[in-house]
Chain A
Amino acid sequence: MPAAAPEVELRSSPHLHTRRSVAMIMRHVIYALLPVAAAAVWFFGISALASLVTAVGVCVATENFLSRLAGRGSTVGDGSVVITGILLALTLPPGFPLWMTAVGAFVSVALGKMLFGGLGANAFNPALVGRAFLQAAFPSAITAYTPVLARNRFSEFIPATLTPPFLQPPPLDRWIAQARVDAFSGATPLMQWKFDGAATDPFALGLGAVAGSAGETSAVLIALCGCYLLVRKMADWRIPAAMLGSAALASLAFHAMNPARYPDALFTLLSGGLMLGAFFMATDMVASPVTPRGVWIYGSLMGLITVLIRNLGGLPEGVMYAILLGNAASPIIDSVTQPRVYGHGGRK
Chain B
Amino acid sequence: MHVHATIDPQDTVNQDAFLDGLWKQNPVFVQVLGTCPTLAVTNSVSNALAMGAATLFVLVCSNVLISLVRKLVPKQVRIATYILIIATFVTVVDYVIKAASITVYKALGPFIALIVVNCIILGRAEAYASRNPVGRSALDGLGMGIGFIIALLCLGGVREILGAGTFLGYPLFGPGYQPWVLFLLPPGGFFTLGAWLLAFNAWKRRKEKTA
Question: Is B180 interfacial (CB 8 A cutoff)?
Answer: yes
Contact B181 A166 (CB under 8 A): no
Contacts A100-B178, A136-B187, A137-B183 supplied; 7 other A-B pairs, CB < 8 Å: A133-B182, A137-B181, A138-B178, A138-B181, A166-B178, A167-B176, A169-B178
Closest to B174 in A: A167
Contact A168 B176 (CB under 8 A): yes
Report Cα–Cα, A163/B178, bound state, in Å.
Answer: 10
Report Cα–Cα, A163/B183, bound state, in Å.
Answer: 21
The 4 closest A-B CB pairs, nearest first, are A137-B182, A136-B182, A168-B178, A167-B176
Asked, given contacts A136-B187, A166-B173, whether A141 binds B181 with beta carbons under 8 Å apart, the answer is no
Question: Is A197 interfacial (CB 8 A cutoff)?
Answer: no
Contact B185 A136 (CB under 8 A): yes
CB neighbours (8 Å) of B187 from chain A are: 136
Question: Is B177 interfacial (CB 8 A cutoff)?
Answer: yes
Contact B181 A139 (CB under 8 A): yes
Among A139, A141, A167, residue most surrounded by chain B Cβ atoms (within 10 Å): A167
A-B contact pairs, 18 of them (CB 8 A): A100-B178, A111-B191, A133-B182, A136-B182, A136-B185, A137-B181, A137-B183, A138-B180, A138-B181, A139-B181, A141-B178, A163-B178, A166-B177, A166-B178, A167-B176, A167-B177, A167-B178, A168-B178
Report Cα–Cα, A266/B33, bound state, in Å.
Answer: 52
Contact flags B55-70 to A (C-beta < 8 A → 1, else 0): 0000000000000000
CB neighbours (8 Å) of A166 from chain B are: 173, 177-178
Q: How far is the CB of B192 from chain A (nearest CB, A)?
A: 13
Contact B176 A136 (CB under 8 A): no
Report Cα–Cα, A100/B179, bound state, in Å.
Answer: 12
Q: How far is the CB of A277 from chain B (nearest CB, A)?
A: 22
CB neighbours (8 Å) of B176 from chain A are: 167-168
Residues of A in contact, count (CB < 8 Å): 13
Closest to B186 in A: A136
CB neighbours (8 Å) of A168 from chain B are: 176-178
Report Cα–Cα, A169/B178, bound state, in Å.
Answer: 8
CB neighbours (8 Å) of B191 from chain A are: 111
CB neighbours (8 Å) of B183 from chain A are: 137
Closest to B175 in A: A168
Report Cα–Cα, A264/B138, bound state, in Å.
Answer: 69
Q: How far is the CB of A62 from chain B (nearest CB, A)?
A: 15
Contact flags B167-211 to A (C-beta < 8 A → 1, else 0): 000000100111011110101000100000000000000000000
Closest to B173 in A: A166
Contact flags A140-156 to B (C-beta < 8 A → 1, else 0): 01000000000000000
Closest to A132 in B: B187
Q: How far is the CB of A314 from chain B (nearest CB, A)?
A: 15
Closest to A141 in B: B178
CB neighbours (8 Å) of A167 from chain B are: 176-178
CB neighbours (8 Å) of B177 from chain A are: 166-168
CB neighbours (8 Å) of A169 from chain B are: 178
Q: How far is the CB of B177 from chain A (nearest CB, A)?
A: 6
Q: How far is the CB of A109 from chain B (nearest CB, A)?
A: 15
Report Cα–Cα, A168/B178, bound state, in Å.
Answer: 4
Contact flags A82-106 to B (C-beta < 8 A → 1, else 0): 0000000000000000001000000
CB neighbours (8 Å) of B180 from chain A are: 137-138
Among A133, A136, A138, A139, residue most surrounded by chain B Cβ atoms (within 10 Å): A136
CB neighbours (8 Å) of B185 from chain A are: 136
CB neighbours (8 Å) of A137 from chain B are: 180-183
Q: How far is the CB of B183 from chain A (nearest CB, A)?
A: 7
Contact flags B109-151 to A (C-beta < 8 A → 1, else 0): 0000000000000000000000000000000000000000000
Q: Which of A164-205 contact B (CB under 8 A)?
A: 166-169
Q: How far is the CB of A285 from chain B (nearest CB, A)?
A: 27
Q: Which of A114-151 contact B (CB under 8 A)?
A: 133, 136-139, 141
Q: How far is the CB of B197 from chain A (nearest CB, A)?
A: 12
CB neighbours (8 Å) of A136 from chain B are: 181-182, 185, 187
Q: Which of B71-93 contact A (CB under 8 A)?
A: none
Closest to B183 in A: A137
Report Cα–Cα, A133/B176, bound state, in Å.
Answer: 21
Contact flags B5-45 to A (C-beta < 8 A → 1, else 0): 00000000000000000000000000000000000000000
Q: How far is the CB of B185 from chain A (nearest CB, A)?
A: 6
Report Cα–Cα, A166/B173, bound state, in Å.
Answer: 9
Report Cα–Cα, A163/B182, bound state, in Å.
Answer: 20
Q: How far is the CB of A99 from chain B (nearest CB, A)?
A: 9
Q: How far is the CB of B32 from chain A (nearest CB, A)?
A: 18
Q: How far is the CB of B159 from chain A (nearest CB, A)?
A: 12
Q: How far is the CB of A301 from chain B (nearest CB, A)?
A: 23
CB neighbours (8 Å) of A111 from chain B are: 191
Report Cα–Cα, A139/B178, bound state, in Å.
Answer: 11
CB neighbours (8 Å) of B173 from chain A are: 166
Report Cα–Cα, A169/B176, bound state, in Å.
Answer: 9
Report Cα–Cα, A60/B183, bound state, in Å.
Answer: 26
Q: How far is the CB of B80 from chain A (nearest CB, A)?
A: 40
Q: How far is the CB of A104 from chain B (nearest CB, A)?
A: 11
Q: How far is the CB of B106 from chain A (nearest CB, A)?
A: 24
